[in-house]
Amino acid sequence: MRSLTILSTDKNASIQIERREFEQFVNYAVTASFHGERVTNEGVVFTHTSAFVRSLEVFERSRAGAPLLDGTEDCKLTIEADGQMGHAWLTFQVSRTLHAFSAQTGRGRSGRITLSGSFSVSGEFIGQLVFDFRELFGEHEARAS
């Protein structure tokens, strides 16, 4: 099982993404922690992961662009340059739909919990992020071929 954790420079925020492999599909458990608040969605499917990794590779070299990792249930993260020293901002949103059912009538209602925010990431870790996302999405296997 592969996972990665991204910590803010002040250690008050983090994103954790864990790859979960099943017989027919892959999804991800995503946890956002931000100044004491925490939301986890255990069933995120990310789209266009190869394009995200390529965009992150370009960002690492040039600090240009804003790589976007987009997932189901409005879960996403973006990485952007933070000033001239090579640091970055990670902006995230993790959402989860909640369901409640009435035992009396069998009817249901749903709601949503969302945690979003941004935090600073030290520039020295951007190269490690590229490596970690390649591993998480299996991009290293495609490059080895």
Looking up residue 62, the CATH number of its domain turns out to be: 2.30.31
Average pLDDT rounded to a whole number, residues 37-47: 96
Domain-located, residue 102: yes
Q: Quickly list H helices, 33-118.
A: 49-62
Asked, for residue 98, whether it belongs to a domain, the answer is: yes
Q: Are strands 76-82 and 87-101 parallel, antiparallel or unpaired?
A: antiparallel
d(CA 85, CA 133): 23
State residue 134 phi and psi, 5-degree precision: -60, -45
Please report the pLDDT score of residue 142 as a whole number: 43
Number of domains the chain contains: 1
Give the per-residue pLDDT at 144: 39
- How does pLDDT run across 77-98, given as a tens digit for each residue? 999 999 878 899 999 999 999 9
Taking a C-beta distance cutoff of 8 angstroms, is the pair 12, 119 a contact?
yes
Q: Are 75 and 30 in contact (CB under 8 A)?
A: yes
Q: Give this prediction's pTM.
A: 0.87
Classify residue 73: in a domain, yes or no: yes
Q: Is residue 104 part of a domain?
A: yes
pLDDT digits (tens, 9 = 90+) for 98-125: 988 888 898 999 999 999 999 999 989 9
Element (H, E) at 111: strand 108-121
Answer yes or no: is 124 within a domain.
yes
- Number of neighbours of residue 138 by Cβ within 10 angstroms: 14
Range of the structural domain that residue 81 is part of = 3-137
CA distance 19 to 138: 10
In a domain? residue 145? no
Whether 68 and 55 have beta carbons less than 8 Å apart is answered as yes
142 within a domain of the structure (yes/no):
no
